C-alpha cells in the first residue's frame, strides 16, 4: 500500500526537556492509524510538529508527505497540503454560526465581500456528509459537544482534507456520539481519506484502527498491525519502562487518618446537570503520600479544586473531615484555615503573580504569618522568603527576581514555598512535576519526602504513573469522576492501574 | 513622613542584584523628569515658576487631582478603571453647596455627610464591578453620566455659593504662625525642619535594622547623598512657601493622605493583596484572598476621595457650578499612567502617581505662564502621556 506520510527521526527539544527523541511514524494512504501513549508521551507534540505549529527548523528530522519532503512554517502551510488537525479543545467561535465557523478565514468572497449563499449551501452539503442535521445558521454555542466535534470535521472537509488528525476526539463524547464519530471515520476511509487517531480508549482504537503506533517517553516503541492488536500488548508497550533511581528513598512513617472525604459529589460548573465527581470517598493518613491516578479528564483536578474552597463546580455535596473533625470548606479562606492547601497544575494561570517577585509570591497565601494588625513586618517577610528559597532550593539571583522569569521547575518551587509557608496539614499537589525537567522533578520529590517526614500529608494527582509508583504510599485510581481502584503502592504497577482504568472505560462506554 | 516612607521604600528593594535596581530606576527617572521639567519652565518663564506665590498656587491647583490619583492608583492596580470621578466630585461639591448655602447645615456635619455620600457612590459602582463582574469601564461610564446629570439637577443649572468662610479655609487657608512672623511663616518652616529630621531619623533607623538582620543596604555614599538631596529639596521648598503665606492647609491634608497611601500599599496586607489581585486575580483567589470584597473596597475608597476632592475644589472656587469636575477623570488617570502604573493591573506606585500628577500640573502651570494657548497645551499633555507610557513599555520589553 502507498505511504502518504512518513515522519523520520523527529527530535524536538524544549528548554530542559527532550519531548521527542528520534520518533518515526508512517501512515499509509487510506488507513486509520492510531497513536497511543501515556499523557506526556509526546503524541500531541508530534502532531504539532506535523501540522506546522512548531515550524520547520524548530525540530530535527524530516517529514515526507505524498512523496515530497515538507517544510511547514505554520498551520496554513500544512492545511494547504490537506493535513487538518482537530484539537482536543475545540477551536470554534461559540457566538458565530456553523457556516461562519466552517468558512472562518477561508470565506467564499469576492473583493472581501462574503457570498453567504455559497457559504450556506456548501455548509449544508458538508453537514450532510458528516451526518449532522442542523441549520447552517445555528450558533455553535447552541450545539452539544458531540455536534461541535462534527462541525470541526465538516470544517476539515471544507478544506479538501487528505490526512485528518483527531486528538482525543471522543474524550468528551457519550457512547452514541462516539460511535457515530467512529463510523464517520470508517466512511472517510472508504473515500480514501487517511486519519491519525489519538486516543486513550483502547477499545475504540481496536474497533477502527488498521495500525497502532505506541509512543513512550517521546520515543516510538513499536507499530502494531491490526492482527497484533491486543489490550495486553498495548498496555505493556505503553507503560513498560524501568523505574531507575529517579525517586529519592523514604522510610514511611504513617499515622492516623488526617483527612477524609465522604460521598463527595460535584456538578459541572456551567452545565449543572452533568455530574463531574460522583460519590468519592477517600482518606489520607498522617505522614502518608497518597496518589490519584487517572487519565486526563478523569475529574481529578475538579475533585481537588472542589474540596479546596469549592473553587470548582456547583451543587457540591459531601463531607470533609480534618483530624476526625468535620470542617467547613465552603470558601478557600476556610479551607486554608482548616489546614488544606492546593498546589495547582497550572502554575502560570492559577499559581503565581508572574509580574511580582519571589518574596511577595511566597507570603501571599499566609500574610498573617508576617504581619501584625494588617501591617507587614519587612524583616520577618524577608526572612521567610529567604528561608523558603533555601528550603526548596529555588535557583534565582535573589528573592527579588520576578517569578515570570524563572524556569518551570523554579516556578513550581515558588508555588510550593507559598503553600508550605501556609503550613497546611494536607497538601494537595496537582501534577506537581508537569513540564519540568528530571533534575527539578527529583528536587520536588525530595521536598515531598521532607514534608511527610515532618508529619504532613500529601495527596498527589499525577498523570505520570511511574511518578505515582515512585513517590506514593497508596494510590487511588479515578475514572470519569469515580474511584475505580485503590492499592498500596507496593502492590501497584502501571499495568494494574491501566487495567483498572480500561476496565472502567469498558463499562462506561 | 511622606518622604520618609518614599525614601526607605527605595532602599527596601535595593539589593545588589540588577533587577531591583532597574525597578528603582523607574522611580528615580520620574523624579528626575519632574525636576528637569521644573527647571525648564523656571528658565523659560524667567524665574516665575519658583516664585513663592506661584509655588503655592501650584499646590492649590493640583491638590484635588493628586488626592483622586491616590484612589485611582488603587483602582488601576486592582485591574480596573474609574471614569466617574470627575462627575462624582462635581456632584458632591454641588451637594455641599446646597447643604451649606441653601439649607444652612453647619460645615462640619455637611463635610462628613458629603464624604459618606462619596463612599456610598463608590460602593454602588463597586458592587456591580466586584460582585456581578460588570466591566468597570462600563459601570463607571454610566456613573459618569448619571452623576453629571444629578449635579445639574441638584444645582438647578445654577452656580451656588458662597461657602461659609470656615469651609473655604480647607482650600485657601494656611497654617497659622504661632510665632508671629510677619513676612515669614516661622511655624511652617519649623514643620519642614521637623519633617526632615524625622525623615533622616527613620532612614537611619531602617538602615540600622536591616544591617542588624544581616541584609545589605545601598552603598553608604549613595545613602547619604540621597538623604541630603531630599532633605535639601524639602527645606528649600518649605522655605519658599514660608516666605509667602506658609504651608497651605490643603498641602497638609494631601501630605497626610499620601503618607497614608504609601504606607497602605507598601506595608499593609490589604495593599499587598490588591497588587496580588491585579497581577493575577485567579492566583490571588486561589491563595485565599477575597477578591470581590477587595475590589469593592477600592471603589468605595475611590468614592470617598473623589468626594473630598470635590469639596476642596468647591471650597477653592468658593462656589459650586454644574460644570465642576468636568474632565478631571482624564487628568487623574493620566497622572497614574505617567506615574508608571500598568493598564493591565498589578503595577504602580503611589509616589509615581503623585509625581505624575505634579508633572501634569507643572506643565499646565508653566505653559500658562509662558502664554501657550490652551489648545496646544492639550496637545502637548497628550503627547507627554503617550511618551511616558511608550517609554515604559519599551523599557519593559528590553528587560
Strands A211-216 and A32-36: parallel
Give me the pLDDT at residue A263, please.
93
Q: Which residues of B touch A338 (CB under 8 A)?
A: none
Q: Average pLDDT of A455-459?
A: 94
Q: Which residues of A touch B346 (CB under 8 A)?
A: 353, 355-356
Give me the pLDDT at residue B24, please.
60
User: How many CB pairs below 8 A link A and B?
Assistant: 96
Q: A380 and chain B: CB distance < 8 Å anywhere?
A: no
- Number of helices (H) and strands (E) in chain B: give both, helices first: 16, 0
Closest partner CB to A400 (pick from B15, B282, B347): B15
Alpha carbon of A141: minimum distance to chain B alpha carbons (Å): 21
CB A34 within 8 A of CB A205: yes
Q: A350 and chain B: CB distance < 8 Å anywhere?
A: yes
Give me the pLDDT at residue B8, please.
39
Asked whether residue A332 carries a pLDDT value surpassing 70, the answer given is yes
Closest partner CB to A374 (pick from B18, B269, B342): B269
d(C-alpha B64, C-alpha B248), whole Å: 13
Give me the pLDDT at residue A441, please.
82
Give me the pLDDT at residue B16, please.
40
Could you list the pLDDT tens digit for every one of the 399 residues in chain B? 333 333 333 333 334 444 444 456 667 788 888 989 999 999 998 888 889 899 999 999 999 999 999 999 999 999 999 999 999 999 999 999 999 999 999 999 999 999 999 999 999 999 999 999 999 999 999 999 999 999 999 999 899 989 999 999 988 888 888 887 778 888 889 999 999 999 899 888 888 888 887 777 678 888 888 889 889 988 998 999 988 888 999 999 999 999 999 999 999 999 999 999 999 999 999 999 999 999 999 999 999 999 999 999 999 999 999 989 998 999 999 999 999 998 899 999 999 999 999 999 999 999 999 999 989 999 999 999 998 888 888 877 665
Q: Which residues of A touch B15 (CB under 8 A)?
A: 398, 400
Closest partner CB to B19 (pick from A333, A355, A401): A401
Give me the pLDDT at residue A486, please.
93
Query: With an 8 Å Cβ cutoff, are B17 and A352 in contact?
Result: no
Closest to B124 measured CA to CA, from B88, B176, B77: B88
**Host H or E run for residue A216:** strand A211-216
d(C-alpha A490, C-alpha A476), whole Å: 13
Q: A368 and chain B: CB distance < 8 Å anywhere?
A: yes
User: Greater confidence, B275 or A42?
Assistant: B275
**Chain A residue closest to B263 (CA)?**
A375
Using a 10 angstrom Cβ sphere, with 0-12 exposed, 13-18 middle and 19 or more buried, the burial of residue A440 is buried
Query: What pTM did the predictor assign?
Result: 0.80
Q: Rounded to 5 degrees, what angle do the CA atoms B46, B49, B52 make? A: 120
d(C-alpha B396, C-alpha B390), whole Å: 10
- Which residues, numbered 152 to 181 in chain B, qualify as contacts with chain A under a Cβ-Cβ cut-off of 8 Å? none
Asked whether residue A335 carries a pLDDT value surpassing 50, the answer given is yes
Give me the pLDDT at residue B4, please.
37
Residue B18 half-sphere exposure, CB side, CA atoms within 13 Å? 1
Strands A60-65 and A32-36: unpaired
Give me the pLDDT at residue A153, please.
87
Which of A134-138, A259-263, A287-291, B183-187 has the least mean pLDDT?
A: B183-187
Q: Which residues of A touch B273 (CB under 8 A)?
A: 364, 367
User: Mean pLDDT, chain A, as a whole number?
Assistant: 87
Closest to B399 measured CA to CA, from A396, A401, A96, A316: A401
d(C-alpha A302, C-alpha A161), whole Å: 36
Query: With an 8 Å Cβ cutoff, are A354 and B270 in contact?
Result: no
Q: Which residues of A touch B283 (CB under 8 A)?
A: 349-353
**Chain B residue closest to A333 (CA)?**
B288
Is the ipTM reported for this complex over the cut 0.85? no
Query: With an 8 Å Cβ cutoff, are B270 and A374 in contact?
Result: yes
Give me the pLDDT at residue A296, please.
74
Closest partner CB to A398 (pick from B17, B342, B346): B17
Buried b (16+ CB within 10 A) or exposed e, A283-322: bbbbbbbbbbbbbebbbbbbbbbbbbbbbbbeebebebbb
**Host H or E run for residue B169:** helix B165-172
Query: With an 8 Å Cβ cutoff, are A367 and B269 in contact?
Result: yes
Distance of CA B24 to the CA centre of its chain: 20
Give me the pLDDT at residue A476, please.
95
Q: B12 and chain A: CB distance < 8 Å anywhere?
A: yes
- Residue-wise pLDDT for A348-380, tens only, equals 889 999 999 999 999 999 999 999 999 999 889
Distance of CA A360 to the CA centre of its chain: 29
Distance of CA B262 to the CA centre of its chain: 11
Long-range CB pairs of A91-95 (<8 Å, 24+ gap) are A91/A152, A92/A140, A92/A148, A92/A151, A92/A152, A93/A140, A94/A139, A94/A140, A94/A141, A95/A139, A95/A140, A95/A141
Residues 6+ apart with CB under 8 A from A318: A261, A262, A263, A264, A265, A280
Q: A113 and chain B: CB distance < 8 Å anywhere?
A: no
Q: A40 and chain B: CB distance < 8 Å anywhere?
A: no
Amino acid at each position: 500500500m502507498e505511504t502518504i506520510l512518513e515522519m523520520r527521526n523527529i527530535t524536538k527539544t524544549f528548554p530542559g526537556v527532550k519531548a521527542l527523541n528520534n520518533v518515526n511514524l508512517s501512515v499509509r494512504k487510506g488507513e486509520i492509524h492510531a497513536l497511543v501513549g501515556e499523557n506526556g508521551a509526546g503524541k500531541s507534540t508530534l502532531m504539532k510538529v506535523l501540522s506546522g505549529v512548531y515550524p520547520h527548523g524548530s525540530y530535527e528530522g524530516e517529514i515526507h508527505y505524498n512523496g515530497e519532503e515538507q517544510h511547514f512554517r505554520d498551520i496554513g502551510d500544512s492545511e494547504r497540503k490537506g493535513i487538518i488537525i482537530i484539537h482536543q479543545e475545540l477551536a470554534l467561535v461559540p457566538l458565530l454560526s456553523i457556516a461562519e465557523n466552517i468558512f472562518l478565514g477561508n470565506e467564499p468572497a469576492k473583493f472581501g465581500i462574503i457570498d453567504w449563499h455559497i457559504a450556506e449551501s456548501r455548509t449544508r452539503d458538508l453537514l450532510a456528509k458528516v451526518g449532522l442535521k442542523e441549520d447552517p445558521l445555528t450558533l455553535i454555542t447552541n450545539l452539544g459537544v458531540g455536534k461541535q466535534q462534527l462541525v470541526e470535521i465538516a470544517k476539515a472537509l471544507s478544506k479538501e482534507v487528505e490526512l485528518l488528525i483527531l486528538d482525543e476526539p471522543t474524550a468528551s463524547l457519550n457512547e452514541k456520539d462516539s460511535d457515530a464519530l467512529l463510523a464517520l471515520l470508517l466512511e472517510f476511509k472508504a473515500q480514501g481519506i487517511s486519519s491519525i487517531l489519538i486516543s486513550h480508549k483502547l477499545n475504540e482504537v481496536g474497533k477502527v484502527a488498521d495500525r497502532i503506533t505506541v509512543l513512550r517517553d517521546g520515543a516510538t516503541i513499536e507499530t502494531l498491525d491490526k492482527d497484533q492488536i491486543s489490550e495486553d500488548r498495548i498496555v505493556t508497550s505503553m507503560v513498560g519502562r524501568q523505574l531507575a533511581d529517579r525517586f529519592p528513598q523514604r522510610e514511611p512513617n504513617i499515622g492516623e487518618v488526617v483527612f477524609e472525604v465522604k460521598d463527595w459529589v460535584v456538578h459541572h460548573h456551567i452545565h449543572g446537570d452533568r455530574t463531574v465527581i460522583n460519590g468519592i470517598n477517600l482518606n489520607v493518613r498522617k505522614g502518608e503520600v497518597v496518589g490519584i491516578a487517572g487519565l486526563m479528564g478523569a475529574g481529578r483536578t475538579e475533585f481537588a479544586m472542589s474540596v479546596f474552597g469549592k473553587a470548582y463546580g456547583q451543587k457540591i455535596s459531601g463531607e470533609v473531615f480534618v483530624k476526625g473533625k468535620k470542617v467547613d470548606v465552603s470558601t478557600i479562606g476556610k479551607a486554608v484555615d482548616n489546614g488544606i492547601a492546593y498546589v495547582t497544575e497550572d502554575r502560570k494561570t492559577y499559581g503565581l503573580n508572574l509580574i511580582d517577585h519571589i518574596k511577595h509570591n511566597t507570603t501571599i497565601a499566609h500574610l498573617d504569618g508576617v504581619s501584625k494588625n494588617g501591617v507587614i513586618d519587612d524583616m520577618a517577610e524577608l526572612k521567610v522568603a529567604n528561608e523558603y528559597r533555601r528550603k526548596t532550593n529555588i535557583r534565582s539571583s535573589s528573592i527579588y527576581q520576578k517569578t515570570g522569569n524563572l524556569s518551570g521547575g523554579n516556578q513550581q518551587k515558588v508555588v510550593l514555598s507559598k503553600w508550605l509557608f501556609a503550613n497546611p496539614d494536607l497538601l494537595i499537589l496537582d501534577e506537581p512535576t508537569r513540564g519540568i525537567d528530571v533534575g527539578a522533578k527529583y528536587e520536588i520529590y525530595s521536598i515531598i519526602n521532607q514534608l511527610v517526614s515532618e508529619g504532613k500529608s500529601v495527596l498527589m494527582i499525577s498523570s505520570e504513573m511511574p511518578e505515582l509508583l515512585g513517590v506514593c504510599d497508596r494510590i487511588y485510581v479515578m475514572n470519569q469522576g469515580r474511584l475505580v481502584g485503590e492499592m498500596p503502592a507496593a502492590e501497584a504497577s502501571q499495568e494494574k492501574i491501566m487495567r483498572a482504568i480500561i476496565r472502567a472505560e469498558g463499562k462506561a462506554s | 513622613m511622606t518622604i520618609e516612607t518614599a525614601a526607605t521604600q527605595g532602599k527596601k528593594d535595593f539589593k545588589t542584584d540588577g533587577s531591583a535596581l532597574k525597578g528603582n530606576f523607574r522611580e528615580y527617572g520620574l523624579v528626575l523628569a519632574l525636576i528637569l521639567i521644573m527647571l525648564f519652565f523656571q528658565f523659560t518663564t524667567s524665574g516665575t515658576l519658583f516664585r513663592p506665590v506661584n509655588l503655592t498656587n501650584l499646590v492649590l491647583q493640583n491638590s484635588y487631582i493628586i488626592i483622586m490619583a491616590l484612589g485611582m492608583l488603587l483602582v488601576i492596580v486592582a485591574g480596573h478603571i474609574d471614569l466617574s470621578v470627575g462627575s462624582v466630585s462635581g456632584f458632591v461639591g454641588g451637594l455641599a453647596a446646597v447643604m451649606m448655602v441653601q439649607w444652612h447645615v453647619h460645615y462640619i456635619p455637611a463635610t462628613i455627610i458629603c464624604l459618606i455620600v462619596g463612599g456610598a457612590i463608590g460602593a454602588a459602582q463597586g458592587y456591580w464591578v466586584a460582585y456581578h463582574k460588570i466591566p468597570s469601564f462600563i459601570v463607571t461610564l454610566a456613573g459618569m453620566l448619571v452623576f453629571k446629570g444629578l449635579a445639574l439637577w441638584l444645582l438647578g443649572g445654577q452656580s451656588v455659593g458662597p461657602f461659609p468662610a470656615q469651609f473655604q479655609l480647607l482650600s485657601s487657608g494656611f497654617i497659622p504662625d504661632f510665632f508671629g512672623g510677619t513676612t515669614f511663616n516661622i511655624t511652617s518652616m519649623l514643620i519642614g525642619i521637623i519633617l526632615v529630621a524625622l525623615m533622616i531619623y527613620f532612614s537611619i533607623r531602617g538602615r540600622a535594622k536591616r544591617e542588624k538582620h544581616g541584609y545589605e543596604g545601598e552603598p553608604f555614599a549613595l545613602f547619604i547623598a540621597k538623604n541630603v538631596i531630599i532633605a535639601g529639596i524639602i527645606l528649600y521648598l518649605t522655605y519658599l512657601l514660608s516666605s509667602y503665606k506658609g504651608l497651605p492647609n490643603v498641602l497638609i491634608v494631601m501630605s497626610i493622605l499620601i503618607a497614608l497611601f504609601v504606607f497602605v500599599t507598601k506595608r499593609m496586607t490589604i495593599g499587598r493583596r490588591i497588587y496580588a489581585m491585579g497581577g493575577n486575580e485567579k492566583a490571588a483567589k486561589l491563595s485565599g484572598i477575597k477578591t470581590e470584597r477587595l475590589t469593592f473596597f477600592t471603589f468605595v475608597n475611590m468614592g470617598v476621595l473623589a468626594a473630598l476632592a470635590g469639596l476642596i475644589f468647591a471650597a477653592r472656587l468658593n462656589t459650586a457650578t454644574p460644570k465642576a469636575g468636568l474632565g478631571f477623570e482624564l487628568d487623574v488617570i493620566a497622572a497614574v499612567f505617567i506615574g508608571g502604573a500598568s493598564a493591565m493591573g498589578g503595577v504602580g506606585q503611589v509616589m509615581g502617581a503623585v509625581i505624575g500628577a505634579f508633572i501634569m500640573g507643572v506643565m499646565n502651570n508653566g505653559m500658562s505662564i509662558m502664554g501657550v494657548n490652551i489648545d496646544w497645551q492639550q496637545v502637548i499633555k497628550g503627547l507627554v502621556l503617550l511618551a511616558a507610557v511608550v517609554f515604559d513599555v519599551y523599557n519593559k520589553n528590553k528587560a
